[in-house]
Amino acid sequence: MIRLLKDWGIVFLGCVFVLLSLCFDLPLGKEMAKEGLNFLSTLMQVVPCVFILIGLFNVWVKREVVERHLGEDSGLKGYFWAVVLAGTTVGGLFVAFPIAVALAKKGASLRVIFAYVGAAGVC
């Protein structure tokens, strides 16, 4: 609960800073507001599509398939598929982390998940 209050307190202080900067015509606050809105716009374009695709992944792909290709016993084949999946993932780490969670729930090896996230960050 305290952690939640600290996080929202930081957001609240940032908003107060931006509002005061806009009132007093400070360029730093204006730039902060512009970049924050740009980031929020990017998230709103990408995240809903990602959640739809992850929902479809959860329904359509069986756990056994993920375990066979990306599980503990997959060996080098698991790393190969992780890099291929990362190379085809559009949206960078915005998309990679939710997919990594879905893979973990389906039984993918933690080593392969880390390889996927690292490759997605590079690709």
Residue 52 falls inside a structural domain: no
Of 107, 101, 89, the closest CA to residue 49 belongs to: 89
Domain containing 2: what range?
Answer: 1-45
Kindly state whether residues 85 and 121 are assigned to the same domain.
Answer: yes
Q: What is the pLDDT of residues 36-82, one digit of tens each?
A: 899 889 888 888 888 898 999 999 999 999 999 999 998 899 999 99
- pTM strictly above 0.85: no
Q: Does residue 20 lie in a domain region? A: yes
